[in-house]
Amino acid sequence: MKNIVFITAFCISLLSLTGQANAGLRLRSVMLRLEVNMEAIVGGITWGDFDTIESNARAIAEHEKPPLKERKKIFAFLKDDARGFKDADAEVHSGAIRLSELAGKKDYNEIIEAYSALLRGCVKCHNAYRDRIIKQFYREEDSHRSSMGVKTEHISSAR
């Protein structure tokens, strides 16, 4: 009986290890979550739902961090550029806080302005680091994936 428990535990840990090897970075799921929040904010702006804007901006400001080990791996890879990566992250955080605070004022112009500054922060980091990080941490076949590709397909098939 003891043996079965041991073997089962061993298999589970083996599974989780191989799972990790194929799963790439946790950063990716953090990013997908940010995108959901950003889209919810657009919805909030178009529907005039300021609570949605506020709560999703706050969720971006307080977004989950990838595990320390993963962050260290990314920073070690980026070397001197790690500073810029952290600054870009900080910019998105402060932009999201600003947007969450503005939501209470219900001023569309200011909100849209803050939203666009926030989105610029996302894109700034993507332009500088995204491809490099995907190339480094994903297998060749994964590195060709592109969320923009998915989106384009989505849009063209909706026509």
Question: Under the criterion CB under 6 A, does residue 126 sit at the interface with ligand HEC?
Answer: yes
Binding to ligand HEC in span 85-104, by CB under 6 A: 85, 88-89, 92
Interacting residue with ligand HEC among 21, 130, 144, 152 (CB under 6 A): 130
Q: Does 115 bind ligand HEC (CB under 6 A)?
A: no
Q: Are 83 and 68 in contact (CB under 8 A)?
A: no
Torsion-angle region of 24 (φ positive above 0: left; ψ -120 to 50: alpha; else: beta) = left
134 lies in the binding site for ligand HEC (CB under 6 A): yes
Under rule CB under 6 A, residue 27 binds ligand HEC: yes
Tell me the H-state helices in the chain: 2-23, 26-47, 50-61, 68-78, 82-103, 108-125, 131-137, 140-143, 147-158
Nearest CA to 41 out of 98, 91, 86, 123 is that of: 98
Stretch that binds ligand HEC, among 31-39, 41-49, 50-58, 105-113 (CB under 6 A): 31-39
Q: Is 78 in the site for ligand HEC (CB under 6 A)?
A: no
Is 32 strand, coil or helix? helix
List residues near ligand HEC by CB under 6 A: 24-25, 27-28, 31-32, 34-35, 38, 60, 85, 88-89, 92, 121-122, 125-126, 129-130, 133-134, 147
